A and B are shown apart, each in its own frame.
Chain A
Amino acid sequence: MLLVLLAVVFAAIELLPGDAASATSERGEGAAGVAARRHLLGLDRPVWERFWDWITALPTGDLGTSARGERVTDLLADPLPNTVLLGATAFVLTALGALALGLWAAARPRGTVDRIVDLTSTAAFALPEFVVSVGLLLALSLWTGWLPAATVTSADGSPASWSMLVMPVLALTIPQTGWNTRIVRAALADQASTPHVEAAHLDGLPTRRILLRHALPGAWPAIATGVATATGPLLGGAVVVETLFNYPGIGAVLAGAVADRDTPVIAGVVACAAALITVVLLLADLVRARTLGARP
Chain B
Amino acid sequence: MNWNRRQVLWAGGGMGAAALLAACGGGNDAASSGSGGKPRKGGTLRIGALGRSSAIVRDPHGVQGNESDYLVIALVHDTLTAPGLKDNAVGRLASSWKPSKDLKTWRFTIAKGATFHDGTPVTADDVVWSLRRLRHTPAGAARLPGMKADHITAEGKDTVVVVSDFANAELPVMMRLSTFILKKNTPDKDMAKAPGTGPFKLDWYRGGNARLLRNEHWHGGQVYLDAIEVTMFESPQAMANAMMSGQIDVASNAGPVAARTADARKDIQVVRRPDDMAMPVVMRTSGGPFADPKVREAMKLVVDREAMVKQVLSGYGTVANDILGTADPDYAKSIPQRHRDLTKAKKLLKEAEFDLSRTYELVTTEDVPGLAESATLFASQAREAGVKIKVVKQESGTFYQKTWLKGDLYTNYWGTNDSLVFFASKTMTTGSGENEADWSDKGFDAAYHKAIAAADPTARTAALRELQQIEHDASGYLLWGMADGIDLAAPKVHGLPKLPGYGRVQLENVWLAR
Q: How far is the CA of A252 from the CA of B434 in the complex (A)?
A: 32
Closest to B140 in A: A33
The interface stretch among A101-109, A150-158, A214-222, A279-287 is A150-158
Closest to A138 in B: B241
With contacts A75-B53, A248-B207 known, is A28 near B241, CB below 8 A? no
Residues of chain B within 8 A (CB-CB) of A157 are 206-207
How many chain B residues touch A (CB < 8 A): the figure is: 55
Decide if B206 touches A152 in the complex (CB within 8 Å): no
Residues of chain A within 8 A (CB-CB) of B395 are 17
Q: Mark B211-254, 1 if CB is under 8 A from A, else 0.
A: 10000000000000000000101110111011011011000000
Range, interface on chain A: 35 or more
Q: How far is the CA of A257 from the CA of B231 in the complex (A)?
A: 20
Decide if A142 touches B54 in the complex (CB within 8 Å): no
A284 to chain B, nearest CB (A): 31
Q: How far is the CA of A70 from the CA of B242 in the complex (A)?
A: 29
A246 to chain B, nearest CB (A): 4
Decide if B142 touches A259 in the complex (CB within 8 Å): no
A264 to chain B, nearest CB (A): 11
The interface stretch among B56-64, B147-155, B480-488, B502-510 is B56-64
Among candidates A27, A33, A156, residue contacting B206 with C-beta atoms closer than 8 Å: A156
Closest to A249 in B: B53
Closest to A261 in B: B397
Closest to B188 in A: A69
Decide if B207 touches A18 in the complex (CB within 8 Å): no
Decide if B53 touches A28 in the complex (CB within 8 Å): no
Residues of chain A within 8 A (CB-CB) of B428 are none
Decide if A149 touches B13 in the complex (CB within 8 Å): no
Residues of chain B within 8 A (CB-CB) of A26 are 10, 13, 16-17, 63, 138-139, 142
Among candidates A16, A75, A154, A252, residue contacting B234 with C-beta atoms closer than 8 Å: A252
Q: Mark A120-159, 1 if CB is under 8 A from B, else 0.
A: 0000000000000000010001100100111011111100
B91: interface (CB < 8 Å):
no
B231 to chain A, nearest CB (A): 5
Among candidates A28, A156, A246, residue contacting B15 with C-beta atoms closer than 8 Å: A28
Decide if A245 touches B207 in the complex (CB within 8 Å): no
Q: How far is the CA of A61 from the CA of B85 in the complex (A)?
A: 51
Residues of chain A within 8 A (CB-CB) of B401 are 17-18, 22
A283 to chain B, nearest CB (A): 29
Decide if A155 touches B238 in the complex (CB within 8 Å): no
Q: How far is the CA of A141 from the CA of B139 in the complex (A)?
A: 44
With contacts A149-B245, A246-B233 known, is A75 near B400, CB below 8 A? no
Q: How far is the CA of A244 from the CA of B402 in the complex (A)?
A: 32
Decide if B65 touches A68 in the complex (CB within 8 Å): yes
Decide if A29 touches B6 in the complex (CB within 8 Å): no
A78: interface (CB < 8 Å):
yes
B14: interface (CB < 8 Å):
yes
B186: interface (CB < 8 Å):
no
B2: interface (CB < 8 Å):
yes
Residues of chain B within 8 A (CB-CB) of A261 are 397
Decide if B63 touches A256 in the complex (CB within 8 Å): no
Decide if B231 touches A260 in the complex (CB within 8 Å): no
B residues lining the A interface (CB < 8 Å): 2, 4, 6, 10-11, 13-17, 46, 52-57, 59, 62-63, 65, 138-139, 141-143, 204, 206-209, 211, 231, 233-235, 237-239, 241-242, 244-245, 247-248, 395-398, 400-402, 426, 433-434
27 contacts between A and B (CB under 8 A): A16-B397, A17-B397, A18-B397, A18-B398, A25-B138, A25-B139, A26-B10, A26-B142, A28-B14, A29-B138, A29-B139, A33-B138, A36-B138, A37-B138, A70-B57, A75-B53, A75-B54, A152-B209, A153-B206, A153-B207, A154-B206, A243-B238, A244-B237, A246-B238, A255-B54, A257-B54, A262-B54
